[in-house]
Structure 1
Amino acid sequence: MLNTVLHGQPTDRPPLVIVHGLFGSARNWGAVAKRLSADRLVVTLDQRNHGDSFRAETQSYADMAGDVAEVIAAHAGPGGQVDLVGHSMGGKTAMQLALTDPAPIRRLVVADIAPVAYDHTQMPLVEAMRDLDLSGLDSRAEADRRLAGRVADPGTRAFLLQSLDLRADPPRWKLNLPVLGREMAGIVGWPGTTGQHAGPTLFLTGALSDYVRPEHRDTIKALFPQAKFAKIPGAGHWLHAERPREFEAAVATFLA
């Protein structure tokens, strides 16, 4: 089963399961999860080929949804249900699960992603991490300096470097970069999953992001007929990191 990190204690409210995006981990969600755990159990996880979870040869949404289903089965609350939040790749994982196995999901939050194929790629970041010289690294500051030649944005570098394990000898990435690179087309794509998730669903986006566009709404409504839409002002794609208090408030209000 996937590696999980638990926050809070089980209560009479359904547990909340949070699924991170590409290059992320349970660790990225620690502060948000802690604040959302005041009245329920919150479960964060490392998806396959990320963090401390197992390494596998695939990164398909069917496989990732199956992984998350196992976590839900292990932690489901009253009535066998959870609330589910997924960001980016994790949002597509959550949507895949909701469309193919909706029963365990009480409420669904999809953060800044749509059930569509995108025409961008994250291969430059895979290649930058894969090519980073890890020899003699003993500080994150030095890793940041080396990575800056390939990744200009400091925020992106800081995010990626959270997955660099400097305690290992030699240092290593906690990402299965060969598989993520090989599976990139599927990760930024969408498997064309049909069906419907009839439960309450919130598509929560960053106002500065263009991942969920007006032309996506018909597709979203066809798959998620109860979908509601909300935007967080001043936030881009990493809305939970850029505007954490606003993100937490929106999620908590919807789940309540």
Structure 2
Amino acid sequence: MLRALAASKWVQPWPLRLCLISLPKKRRAFASNVITPVPLSYTVFDGSSPQPPLVFLHGLFGSKANFQSLAKKLVLQTGRTVLTVDARNHGSSSHSSMMSYEAMSADVQLLLHQLHLNRCVLIGHSMGGKTAMVLSLQRPELVERLVCVDISPSETSAVTSFQAFVAAMRAVDIPQGFPRSAARRLAEEQLRSTIQEPAIRNFLLTNLVSSEGKFMWRVNLEAVSNHLNEILSFPDFQKPYSGPALFLGGSKSEYISSNDYPEIERLFPEAEIQYVPDAGHWVHADQPQQFLTAVCNFLELSPR
């Protein structure tokens, strides 16, 4: 059952400042000046520590379920409360035609306000990592420290196949009335021609849901498709986030390269960059124990 957190030392009210969130000047020519946050679905794993909670933000096509097992282990290892969150247009969260990082940041700010959290540790993978970066740059007082998993504040269209994933998912056609097992097999067969990796197909198929005998994708593919270029880019910011930050890449991934180091240093001057051996883009799934070790070690570091 979803519920708000009980009061503790890190639960303090803070003023609601996100109903009228202005976009950076660079984007005002292309979008509305006002963003309306949407309510997000989340799960809480209670810890006993008074330290700020950990908030997990998943990547494109993911959901809060991606981090549940890791969340439980982090509660045991750190004592901190952990939240896993569905982004807008993903999982059980509300759908919206807007799909920008400013909008997703506003959603998380609304959630923190609703839970009366004035400080947290943001841990974001891929799209969730960019969302976490934007929130930390907009509202640094809310972010004790930042972990960005296999993502940098840069354009990522050159290293991703997400365009092909969206096209393949939109092309899936399942006749009405199919039983779930048969529907999943049919969807996988239709995805196979474009997506050869079984692990990626299985990951995308976690979005396949049934409603009144009809199968559909729970991720809002229309919104994702309409804003994919924006999702693969990063907004323009000038003022850096001065708190501790960890950019944790996979050694087999190209999402954090040496070309990204200058921009990481400019926007996150206290950042550390580490790579997990034998891990691809989904670092936490490929090497969960090494991922947990890196996060726990980072949490124990004193701010500089």
> How would you bin the TM-score normalised by the shorter chain?
over 0.9
SS in structure 2 opposite 1:103?
helix
**Any idea what SS the aligned residue of 1:40 has?**
coil
List aligned pairs for 1:14-53, cutoff 5 A: 14-38=52-76, 39-53=79-93
Which of 234, 243, 266 is the aligned partner of 1:199? Answer: 243
CA offsets 1:21-67 (integer angstroms, 9 cap, x no match):
11110011111111112212110111001011001011111001111
1:138 maps to amino acid: R
Q: CA deviation at 1:10?
A: 5.2
TM-score (norm: length of structure 2): 0.80
* Equivalent residue number for residue 68 of structure 1: 108
Shift of 1:68: 1.1
Q: Name which of 274, 278, 285 aligns with 1:230.
A: 274
> Which of these residues, 180, 193, 215, is aligned with residue 138 of structure 1?
180
- Relative to structure 1, is the Cα distance of residues 86 and 15 closer, same or farther in structure 2, using a 3 angstrom cutoff? same
Q: Please, what is the CA RMSD of the aligned residues?
A: 1.5
Partner of 1:173: 217
In structure 2, C-alpha distance between the alignment counterparts of 1:208 and 1:76, rounded to whole Å: 39
Corresponding residue pairs, total: 254
Letter in 2 for 1:178: E
How far is the alpha carbon of 1:168 from its aligned partner? 5.3
Instruction: Supply the distance in 2 between the matched residues of 1:163 and 1:222 (Cα, whole angstroms).
Output: 36
Q: For 1:203 and 1:232, locate their aligned partners in 2 and report how far apart those are by CA, in whole Å.
A: 11
Q: Does 1:55 align with 2:84?
A: no
Does the 8 Å CA contact 1:14/1:76 hold for their aligned counterparts? no
Structure 1 gap ranges (5+): none
> 2:180 corresponds to which letter in structure 1?
D
Per-residue deviation, 1:208: 0.8
* Alpha-carbon separation, structure 2, partners of 1:76 and 1:111: 26
Residue 193 (structure 2) aligns with? 149
Return the TM-score normalized by structure 1: 0.94
**Secondary structure of 1:241's partner?**
helix
State the identity %. Answer: 37
Is 2:174–2:186's contact at 8 Å kept on the other side of the alignment? no
Partners of 1:200 and 1:112 in 2: CA distance: 17
* Equivalent residue letter for 1:170: K
- Stretches of structure 2 that go unaligned for 5 or more consecutive residues are 1-38
Q: Would the aligned equivalents of 1:137 and 1:166 in 2 still touch at CA under 8 Å?
A: no
Q: Which has the higher contact order (CA 8 A, sep 6+)?
A: 1
Aligned to 2:121, the other structure's residue is in SS state: strand
Match of 1:129 in 2: 169
Checking the alignment, whether the CA contact within 8 Å between 1:15 and 1:75 is kept in structure 2 is no
- Aligned ranges for residues 202-221 of structure 1 at < 5 Å? 202-221=246-265
Deviations 1:162-211 (A, max 9, x none): 11114653122111001100100000011122211000000111011111
